[in-house]
Amino acid sequence: MISYCRETLRNLDDKVDQLCATYVEFFNKCMNFLGAVLVYFVYVITVFITVTTFAIIVPYEQM
């Protein structure tokens, strides 16, 4: 009886591990994608702030 329970629990554990492994791989890909999007978002914001700063300062420099 005990060996049957152990075998059943081992099979259940293997199924859970297989299921979790697919989700871990999916979440890893999602986090990598979100990290790349965040890098580009920060880059775009930085360029926008730089351009608008010069657009504000340059007219006052020419006065």
CA distance 63 to 60: 5
Q: What is the DSSP string of 8-50?
A: HHHHHHHHHHHHHHHHHHHHHHHHHHHHHHHHHHHHHHHHHHH
The more confident residue out of 23 and 29 is: 29
DSSP label of 1: -
For 11-23, what is the mean pLDDT?
A: 83
| pLDDT exceeds 80 at position 63 | no
Rounded Cα–Cα distance for residues 39 and 46 (Å): 11
The predicted structure's pLDDT at residue 10: 86
Residue 53 has φ and ψ, to the nearest 5°, of -65, -45
